[in-house]
């Protein structure tokens, strides 16, 4: 898929990273104090893992962005209602967890068909699985793969290996690798 009109932050752990926050402010033309965020956290819905990291990430977003924060609730909201809901927010922040579970949720709920339309006008921040799910080996919305946390080496070509302090800024056709986003 062409990345025209797609503005993405793809990282292992983007929350609290100043370079990413400044890029979001630049794209939106507004201060972080006024930015509203719609959160997707379905990648851990079936998990029994310790999710303190997720609570920490939520807390970071709550202190970083001053606009309204809400959850998308993909499993509970119909696609058309979800579209209307998400259009009311400045950006969509998709958290990590299990990429296959996230993909399955996107497909079962119809969100995978809605997402390309949303990406044409919204900023997407993908954290770990939230970044991976867009890649060529999942939804195929990108022409490259992502391996977060820099430990996995499953994919060899057109793959960005990201440390926990690194990430990608995708602005249409331009891809900028940020090594240290702090």
Per the CB < 8 A criterion, the answer to whether 105 and 72 are in contact is no
End-to-end CA distance of the chain: 30
- Give the list of residues 6+ apart from residue 82 with CB closer than 8 angstroms, or none: 72, 74, 109, 111, 114
The pLDDT tens digits of the residues spanning 68-85 come to: 999 999 999 998 999 999
Q: Can you give the pTM of this predicted structure?
A: 0.83
Give start and end residues of each alpha helix (H) in the chain.
18-28, 52-64, 79-87, 99-109, 111-119, 129-132
Predicted confidence at residue 141, as pLDDT, reads 94
Going from N- to C-terminal start, the domains of the chain cover 7-178
Quick: pLDDT tens for 128-165: 999 999 999 999 999 988 888 765 454 456 677 788 88
Fold assignment, 7-178:
Rossmann fold (3.40.50)
């Amino acid at each position: 898929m062409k990345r025209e009109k797609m503005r993405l932050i793809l990282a292992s752990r983007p929350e609290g990273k100043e370079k990413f926050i400044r890029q979001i402010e630049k794209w939106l033309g507004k201060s972080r104090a006024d930015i509203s965020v719609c959160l997707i956290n379905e990648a851990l819905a079936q998990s029994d893992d310790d999710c303190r990291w997720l609570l920490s990430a939520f807390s970071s977003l709550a202190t970083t962005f001053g606009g309204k924060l809400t959850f998308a609730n993909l499993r509970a909201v119909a696609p058309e209602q979800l579209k209307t809901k998400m259009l009311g927010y400045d950006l969509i922040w998709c958290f990590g967890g299990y990429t296959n579970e996230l993909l399955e949720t996107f497909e079962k709920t119809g969100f995978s068909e809605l997402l390309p339309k949303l990406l044409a006008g919204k900023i997407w921040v993908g954290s770990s699985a939230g970044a991976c799910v867009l890649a060529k080996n999942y939804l195929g919305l990108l022409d490259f793969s992502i391996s977060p946390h820099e430990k996995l080496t499953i994919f060899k070509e057109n793959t960005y290996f990201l440390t926990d302090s690194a990430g990608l800024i995708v602005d249409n056709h331009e891809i900028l690798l940020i090594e240290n986003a702090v």
